[in-house]
């Protein structure tokens, strides 16, 4: 049973088409949304978060239609959203910020709310920053605070827009643990540029570019699309759609491999570059 269903959704800003008929179905678990800047990922997440109405098309979240007022309220009660940009009040402390967001999420029992917030602050490693003003937090701490607010109320659906941006490696690993906890019953949609995160956490992945879905499947299926199209060489070779020099001095290329090329096992990143590169060329 899919939790998130998006059918032929179109959204434009003036003459700029952000989503040109996106269709996807997302089941419980962790699903990755990969795409370059301007691909439409954030617009899609904002539509799913009910913060933005599509121009046309259908969205169903947990079987409910966000265009119906009663459904909209019920969806918002079960949804956690972490936007790409920090949506914080700089004059509040971490605790005050979470308390305000908890109130907006209808957590009116003071004792339960405060216990829940303290629990989240501890999970995020922010308990020492409980009374610190938001404006004094580092970039990584801000992201963790944003993740904490998304987890308020333990929502059934979690929409995360570039959640690991600005996190150091240790916190990124911790973040993966937090996201995947309860991932079997919860639906997590993760928009990211970080292919490692997709490989490590996601059961399914969508690649979108220019408002269109280019790929849907599992991470292994995604990397399989690049089999025979990734090679390494001592010098830069022809046929590489994208070529870069690796740390050991070799050139890694994705594209149409020349005869005799030393093929290597592709990664998700290779497949992603191949897909997005083709879309750019077309």
Residues that bind another protein (CB under 8 A): 7-10, 12-13, 21, 46, 49-53, 55-58, 67-69, 72-74, 76-79, 81, 83, 85, 87-92, 99-110, 112-113, 116, 119, 149, 152-156
Backbone φ and ψ for 190, nearest 5 degrees, come out as -120, 110
- Shorter beta-carbon distance to another protein: residue 69 or 282: 69
Which are the contacts of 130, defined by CB distance < 8 A and separation ≥ 6? 93, 94, 95, 118, 121
The string over 42-51, giving b where at least 16 C-beta atoms fall within 10 Å of a residue's C-beta and e elsewhere, is bbbbbbbbbe
CB of 197 to another protein, least distance (A): 22
Q: 137 and 145 in contact (C-beta within 8 Å)?
A: yes
Q: What is the maximum alpha-carbon separation in the chain?
A: 69
CB of 105 to another protein, least distance (A): 5
CB of 106 to another protein, least distance (A): 4
CB of 35 to another protein, least distance (A): 19
- Shorter beta-carbon distance to another protein: residue 38 or 228: 38
Q: 271 and 219 in contact (C-beta within 8 Å)?
A: no
Q: Which of 51, 73, 46 is nearest to 62 (CA)?
A: 73
**Alpha-carbon Rg of the chain, whole angstroms?**
21
CB of 269 to another protein, least distance (A): 29
- Shorter beta-carbon distance to another protein: residue 57 or 239: 57
- Shorter beta-carbon distance to another protein: residue 9 or 198: 9
- Shorter beta-carbon distance to another protein: residue 78 or 174: 78
């Amino acid at each position: 049973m899919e939790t998130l269903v998006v059918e032929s959704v179109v959204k434009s800003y003036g003459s700029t088409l952000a989503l040109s008929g996106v269709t996807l179905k997302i089941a419980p678990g962790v699903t990755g949304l990969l795409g370059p800047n301007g691909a439409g990922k954030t617009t899609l997440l904002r539509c799913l978060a009910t913060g933005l109405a599509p121009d046309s098309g259908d969205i169903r979240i947990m079987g409910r239609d966000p265009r119906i007022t009663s459904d909209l309220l019920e969806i918002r009660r079960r949804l956690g959203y972490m936007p790409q940009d920090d949506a914080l009040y700089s004059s509040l402390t971490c605790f005050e910020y979470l308390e305000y967001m908890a109130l907006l999420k209808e957590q009116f029992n003071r004792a339960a709310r405060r216990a829940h917030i303290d629990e989240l602050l501890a999970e995020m490693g922010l308990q020492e920053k409980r009374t610190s003003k938001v404006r004094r937090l580092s970039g990584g701490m801000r992201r963790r605070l944003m993740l904490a607010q998304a987890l308020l109320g333990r929502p059934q659906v979690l929409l995360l827009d570039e959640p690991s941006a600005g996190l150091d490696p240790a916190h990124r690993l911790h973040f993966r643990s937090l996201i995947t906890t309860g991932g079997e019953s919860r639906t997590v949609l993760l928009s990211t540029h970080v292919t490692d995160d997709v490989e490590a956490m996601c059961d399914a992945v969508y690649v979108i570019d220019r408002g269109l879905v280019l790929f849907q499947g599992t991470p292994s299926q995604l990397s399989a699309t690049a089999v025979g199209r990734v090679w390494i060489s001592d010098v830069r070779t022809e046929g590489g759609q994208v070529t870069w020099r690796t740390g050991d001095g070799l050139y890694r290329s994705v594209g149409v491999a020349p005869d005799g090329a030393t093929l290597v096992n592709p990664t998700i990143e290779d497949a992603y570059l191949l897909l997005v590169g083709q879309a750019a060329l077309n």
